[in-house]
Structure 1
Amino acid sequence: MASDRIPQQMKAQVLTEYSQPYTLKDLSVPELASDNDILIKVDAAGVRDIEVAIMVDADQSQQYCHTDAVLAAGQMKPNPPKFPHVGSHEFAGTVVKTSSSSDKTCPVGTRVGVPGRGYHICGTCFECKDPNNDYAGYSNFCGKGLSNGLSKDGGFAEYAVVDARQVALLPDAMSAANAAPLMCAGVTIYRALKRCRLSAGQRVGIMGCGGGLGHLGLQFAEAMGLKTTGVDAADGPLKLANSLSLKNVRVVDARSTKADALVKEIGEQDGVEDRPNMGLDAVIILPESQASFEYGCSILKNHGLCVVVSFPEGGFNVSARDLVFRDISVVGTLLGTNSDLQEMVSFASKHNIKAISKTYSLAKLNELVDEYNKGEGGKLVVDMAL
Structure 2
Amino acid sequence: MAKAVQVPPTALAATLTGPYSEPYEFLQQQVSPPGEKEALVSLSFSGVCHGDVYSRDGGGPAPPAPHRPLIGGHEGVGTIVALGANAANSCSFRIGDLVGIAWRTSVCGKCEPCLSGRENHCGEQVITGLHASGTYQQYITFPVDQLIPIPDGIDLPQACCVLCAGVTAFSSLRLMDPQPGTWCVIAGAAGGLGHLAIQYAKCFGLRVLAIDGGGADKEAFCRDMGADTYVDFIKEGVRLVEKVRSATVGGAHSVLVLSPHQGSYDLLYPKWKYTRVLNLNGFPLRPILKKALLVRSNQTGTKNDIREALKLTVSGQVKCKVEVMGLEALNEALDRLRAGKVLGKLVVNLR
TM-score, length of structure 2 as denominator length: 0.89
Instruction: Give how far 1:336 is off.
Output: 1.8
The aligned residue for residue 250 of structure 1 is 229
* Residues in 2 aligned to 1:245 and 1:341: alpha-carbon distance in whole angstroms: 20
Task: Specify the SS of the correspondent of 1:283.
Answer: strand
The aligned residue for residue 187 of structure 1 is 167
Task: Specify the SS of the correspondent of 1:301.
Answer: coil
Task: Specify the SS of the correspondent of 2:276.
Answer: strand
* Residues in 2 aligned to 1:124 and 1:166: alpha-carbon distance in whole angstroms: 15
Between stretches 161-170 and 342-351, larger displacement belongs to 161-170
Equivalent of 2:64, from 72, 75, 93?
75
Equivalent of 1:120, from 106, 114, 132?
106
Instruction: Give how far 1:42 is off.
Output: 0.6
The aligned residue for residue 22 of structure 1 is 24
Q: 1:140 to 1:369 in 2, by over 3 A?
A: closer
* Residues in 1 aligned to 2:53 and 2:102: alpha-carbon distance in whole angstroms: 18
* Residues in 2 aligned to 1:323 and 1:4: alpha-carbon distance in whole angstroms: 57
* Contact persistence 1:47–1:379 (CA under 8 A): yes
Task: Specify the SS of the correspondent of 2:181.
Answer: coil
Gaps of 5+ in 1: 59-65, 268-277
* Contact persistence 2:154–2:314 (CA under 8 A): yes
Q: Letter of the 2:262 partner, please give it.
A: Q
Gaps of 5+ in 2: none
Deviations, residues 306-346 of structure 1 (Å, cap 9, x unaligned): 21223xxxx43232xx3344222112111222111111111
Residue pairs, 1:146-165, within 5 angstroms: 146-165=126-145
* Residues in 2 aligned to 1:359 and 1:49: alpha-carbon distance in whole angstroms: 16
The aligned residue for residue 306 of structure 1 is 277
The aligned residue for residue 63 of structure 1 is none
The aligned residue for residue 123 of structure 2 is 143
* Residues in 2 aligned to 1:52 and 1:291: alpha-carbon distance in whole angstroms: 20
* Contact persistence 2:158–2:320 (CA under 8 A): yes
Deviations, residues 198-227 of structure 1 (Å, cap 9, x unaligned): 122222111111111111101111222211
Q: 1:356 to 1:123 in 2, by over 3 A?
A: same
Q: 1:172 to 1:355 in 2, by over 3 A?
A: same
Q: Letter of the 1:309 partner, please give it.
A: L
* Contact persistence 1:218–1:249 (CA under 8 A): no
Task: Specify the SS of the correspondent of 2:295.
Answer: strand
* Residues in 1 aligned to 2:334 and 2:112: alpha-carbon distance in whole angstroms: 39
Between stretches 90-99 and 183-192, larger displacement belongs to 90-99
Q: Letter of the 1:262 partner, please give it.
A: V
* Residues in 1 aligned to 2:64 and 2:52: alpha-carbon distance in whole angstroms: 14
The aligned residue for residue 317 of structure 1 is 284
* Residues in 1 aligned to 2:135 and 2:299: alpha-carbon distance in whole angstroms: 21
Residue pairs, 1:1-386, within 5 angstroms: 1-18=2-19, 19-35=21-37, 37-56=38-57, 66-67=59-60, 71=62, 75=64, 81=67, 83-99=68-84, 100-102=86-88, 104-117=91-104, 119-128=105-114, 130=115, 132-133=116-117, 139-235=119-215, 238-239=218-219, 241-242=221-222, 244-246=224-226, 249-255=228-234, 256=236, 257-267=239-249, 278-302=250-274, 304-310=275-281, 315-319=282-286, 322-377=287-342, 378-385=344-351
* Residues in 1 aligned to 2:180 and 2:225: alpha-carbon distance in whole angstroms: 19
* Residues in 2 aligned to 1:52 and 1:368: alpha-carbon distance in whole angstroms: 10
Between stretches 169-178 and 181-190, larger displacement belongs to 169-178
Q: 1:29 to 1:375 in 2, by over 3 A?
A: same
Deviations, residues 13-54 of structure 1 (Å, cap 9, x unaligned): 11111222211111111332342x221111111112232344
Between stretches 324-333 and 182-191, larger displacement belongs to 324-333
* Residues in 1 aligned to 2:269 and 2:10: alpha-carbon distance in whole angstroms: 52
- Identical columns (%): 25
* Residues in 2 aligned to 1:75 and 1:305: alpha-carbon distance in whole angstroms: 35
Deviations, residues 232-279 of structure 1 (Å, cap 9, x unaligned): 133387246336252x53221123152123213322xxxxxxxxxx32
Task: Specify the SS of the correspondent of 1:127.
Answer: helix
* Contact persistence 2:103–2:300 (CA under 8 A): no
Number of matched residues? 343
